[in-house]
Structure 1
Amino acid sequence: MKLLIVEDEEALAAGLAFNFKQEGYAVTVAMDGRSALNHYSGDKSPFDVIILDLMLPGMSGYDVCREIRKQDRRVPILILSARQLPEDRTLAFDAGTDQYLSKPFSLPEVISRVKNLLARRSDREAEVTSSTPGGQFQFDGVTIDFDQFQVVIDRPDKQEKHELTTLEAQLLRYFIQHEGRVLPRMEILENVWPPDSDVTTRTIDNFVMRLRRMIEADPANPQFLLSVRGTGYKFRARSDS
């Protein structure tokens, strides 16, 4: 397994690299954002997981994450950051990260989270769901392709293609599997996110907003991903219009 560590604190980067090498990972370290992108784009074989700091010289971790997501929506990204405000987490998840861990952290927890991300990615890509035959689900000019991790919009006023992260695809799949049922936020969190994720139910709201921007004609007045006040969300494949 190949691991890219993006961290400008030299001692911390060296400590992470040493311990992950002991776990059997092939580790590359980048001390700034530009170097990270150069390693990511220039390596002959892709990285299996990325550990990313947010406060980097020259280019923020948010921007690094966004640039990587333009190339690959599936590679797991774990943020390690001293930033602990809710808006920092929101920005990171909006940029496309999978998990967020605050500094200072426990090394065994970091290693566990990386293993968990890799295992869940493997499970998702191998998953065959009877409710989505052929790996696709279609409704109202929207085609969700779970094999390709894509959402294709083909409506008279809108033709777009969006790439999905593994968590976005997993969340969409969960909504589709439970079409018509009100899903409490805690249930969604427990069934979609890894059990050791350092996230809150607010994270679900952020992901739903992103999905609405993809599939809804008017995200401010959703017809498919509906809010249920005080509880959670409900997906329906037919709008009222």
Structure 2
Amino acid sequence: MRVLVVEDERRLASVVQRGLEAEGYAVDVCHDGRHGLWMALEQPYQAIVLDLMLPGLNGYRVCEQLRRADVRTPVLMLTAKNGEWDEAEALDTGADDYLTKPFSYVVLLARLRALIRRGGPVRRPALQIGDLHIDPATRRCRRGEEEIELTAKEFAVLAHLGLRSGEVVTRTDLLEQVWDAHHEAASNIIDVHIRALRRKIDIPFGRTTIHTVRGAGYRLADGDA
């Protein structure tokens, strides 16, 4: 899942980014309103964390313009203001939730999960590939009735493959969707996660679900597809 963080306090933006990435999100970050608006219009995100006081274009206007452009991505607005009128204006311009600084990161994460679960067009349904069950909403995976424990990144890789089940997914696509648009990952990071997934979801069950398509990428499919 990809999340956009628009926050001009660079230290705070970095802390939020690291925390979300540890939970398995791919995170893009920018520090001004106009750039944030452009990114939100150009890229599909599952949620946007949007600061209110931004250079270039404030959070109210960014959110307002997104809704005018019919972008329905859930928006969690952050602000140092705590007045009821500020909260009302944020919600009236299209924000889905509102969090006052300083805030608890645990609460931020919980509210973000709730927004993604509720966001109709961005909610991801449970996936079934043979007897492999993947539920992006709850981040649970099982083979038949047996639960499989995955790390946040392992689950993110598997879920993206599952959403494109039967299709070839390139390494570049996996890097962009599971890490972020500017991540300079080690060349073997995809291979490491694919091997880990095979050891957990395939080998113990005598299955072959993740297929390597030489020179192209990977395909998630039941059997020998």
TM-score scaled by structure 1? 0.49
Cα distance in 2 for residues equivalent to 1:124 and 1:35: 22
SS at match of 2:119: helix
| AA partner of residue 59 (structure 2) | G
Superposition deviation, residue 120 in structure 1: 1.6
Give the direction of change, closer, same or farther, for the CA distance of 1:123–1:64 in structure 2 (3 Å limit): closer
Report what 2:36 is aligned to: 36
Superposition deviation, residue 30 in structure 1: 1.1
Give unmatched runs, 5+ long, in structure 1: 127-241
1:97 and 2:95 are equivalent in the alignment: yes
Give the direction of change, closer, same or farther, for the CA distance of 1:48–1:72 in structure 2 (3 Å limit): farther
Superposition deviation, residue 72 in structure 1: 3.0
1:16 and 2:13 are equivalent in the alignment: no
| AA partner of residue 113 (structure 1) | R
Superposition deviation, residue 71 in structure 1: 2.1
Report what 1:66 is aligned to: 64
SS at match of 1:97: coil
SS at match of 1:80: strand
Give the direction of change, closer, same or farther, for the CA distance of 1:123–1:63 in structure 2 (3 Å limit): closer
Report what 2:216 is aligned to: none
Question: Contact 2:46–2:122 at 8 Å: present in 1 too?
Answer: no
Give the direction of change, closer, same or farther, for the CA distance of 1:57–1:125 in structure 2 (3 Å limit): closer
Question: Contact 2:77–2:95 at 8 Å: present in 1 too?
Answer: yes
Report what 1:117 is aligned to: 115
Report what 1:2 is aligned to: 2
Cα distance in 2 for residues equivalent to 1:93 and 1:65: 9
Between 1 and 2, higher relative CO (CA 8 Å, sep ≥ 6) is seen in 2
Give matches, 1:41-190, under 5 Å: 41-43=41-43, 46-122=44-120
Per-residue Cα deviation, 1:92-130 (whole angstroms, up to 9, x for no partner): 11100010111100001101111111112249979xxxx
Superposition deviation, residue 70 in structure 1: 1.6
Cα distance in 2 for residues equivalent to 1:39 and 1:121: 19
Structural RMSD (CA):
2.1
Cα distance in 1 for residues equivalent to 2:40 and 2:46: 11
Aligned residues: 125
Give the direction of change, closer, same or farther, for the CA distance of 1:124–1:26 in structure 2 (3 Å limit): closer
Cα distance in 2 for residues equivalent to 1:84 and 1:4: 23
* Percent of aligned positions that are identical: 42
Cα distance in 1 for residues equivalent to 2:22 and 2:38: 25
Stretches of 4+ moved more than 4 A in 1? 122-126
TM-score scaled by structure 2? 0.52
Cα distance in 1 for residues equivalent to 2:71 and 2:122: 13
Between stretches 17-26 and 33-42, larger displacement belongs to: 33-42
